[in-house]
A and B are shown apart, each in its own frame.
Chain A
């Protein structure tokens, strides 16, 4: 019998877009809830957002099975951390842990594109953005996933973050208020959904601030 399929691949891209925006005293993390494979929509309600600690929330797109394994790994590590230190991990600490966890699989990577958002020890918003093998950077806002090519330049245009080349280093948090940031996130997803077939169905927005964690949803185009 002759071979009928293309060569087997351990990876798939299940699509989806993630955005995080840091403000002076809040952080907004958002992602759509569509999960696709090729031209199929597998489900319209799959959350890409994972609460890793009280003040650290991760949004991930890429290969769902790897993302799932990564989330479980981080949850297990965070449980150990809580037993050893009797406290929740801070967002910058979680950021380093995520980088190490990704790099640990450098030669058989997790095909996961993450943004980590949260509040640092001073209660200031922070966003960390990653590649699949663990390179990471602290920024004021970021986007990852299938719609990132549409979203990122729009955020650059709207938020005009100070150049990272400036000395002394400028604070990267955005000047927007919390509600302005949430509105901006809604706009960028509505726009990305127009052109990116892997983004749509529903938008899940998580807002972190001094008051705690708050979640809201917005419907997106389903085509």
Chain B
């Protein structure tokens, strides 16, 4: 569900009974998104397109959903990845299902390729922005047809382009610089996956809405494969992660997180919560207190 707000239009007296205006006044528009997905990253490689995205669905800053598939096959030759409003993405998938179905009903052996689907999406997104009623997404469309690789993007307001590698949202800031350094035309499947995983790992560390459950999809002349969800290996052992407040030590969290569960007990215990994943710094005084 998208957050909708009715626009109250100042109706002047002469137009009060105009049903057209009244219906416009009642119209509902997306002013901001509800449940959102974060970055999608995609690249061309030797045999086709590779696309990666995590499976998080954020409700503001709450991680509300953790198994949202944000990469879907479209028709025989295309792969669609979406960030932004999840419900709008699902609406777009319904439009595309209809598009592919009606195209298939011609029964002429022709089928829409990635270029056509991308063009269609471009028109849908731009048309909705013209009505001031946008579909709140950044979309990535990749595919292969007749030996031609295709990789393009469309934004919420209809801005669209093709490139050898693309990324939405935070991916634009964090993944594309890596891709510009390391991408090349002849990437093998293995190297392509490695490159995407490198990007997704950086996003996982630095994008707070990214989660460690992702899918990578591949499309070649042979067809589409979307991987099962999996996790990346991470390393949080850097000293900056271990003890982020060193040099800026406060006092409150020692009090909050180290409690004396039983007044008779002299030894301080960690509370039975999972909160203090980060160990407090041991000042000599505190250490003495703890060991007493």
Mark A residues whose CB is within 8 Å of B.
1-5, 7-12, 14, 35, 37, 40, 42-43, 45-46, 63-65, 68-69, 108
Contacts and interface: CB of A to CB of B under 8 A. Distances in A.
Contact of B160 (A7, A40, A68): A68
Interface of B: 3, 30-32, 34, 59-60, 122, 126, 129-130, 132, 134, 153, 155, 157-163, 172-173
A46 B161 contact: yes
A40 B173 contact: yes
A58 B30 CA distance: 35
Nearest to A1: B60
Given A3-B32, A5-B32, A10-B132, A64 B60 contact: no
Contact of B129 (A10, A43, A64): A10
Nearest to B162: A43
Given A37-B155, A65-B155, 8 more contacts: A5-B32, A10-B130, A10-B157, A11-B157, A63-B159, A65-B157, A65-B158, A69-B126
B159 A12 contact: yes
A214 to B, nearest CB: 25
Given A10-B132, A65-B126, A69-B126, A4 B32 contact: yes
15 contacts: A1-B59, A4-B32, A7-B31, A8-B32, A10-B130, A12-B159, A14-B159, A42-B159, A42-B161, A43-B162, A43-B163, A65-B157, A65-B159, A68-B122, A68-B126
Query: Dominant SS at the A interface?
Result: loop
Contacts of A37: 155, 159
Contacts of A11: 157
A9 B129 CA distance: 9
A216 B13 CA distance: 61
Contacts of A3: 31-32
Nearest to A65: B158
A35 B134 contact: no
Nearest to A10: B129
Given A3-B32, A69-B126, A64 B132 contact: no
A219 to B, nearest CB: 15
A108 B126 CA distance: 14
9 cross-chain pairs, A with B, having the tightest CB-CB distances, nearest first: A65-B158, A43-B163, A43-B161, A1-B60, A40-B172, A64-B159, A65-B159, A10-B129, A65-B126
Contacts of B162: 43
A4 B35 CA distance: 12
Contacts of B126: 65, 68-69
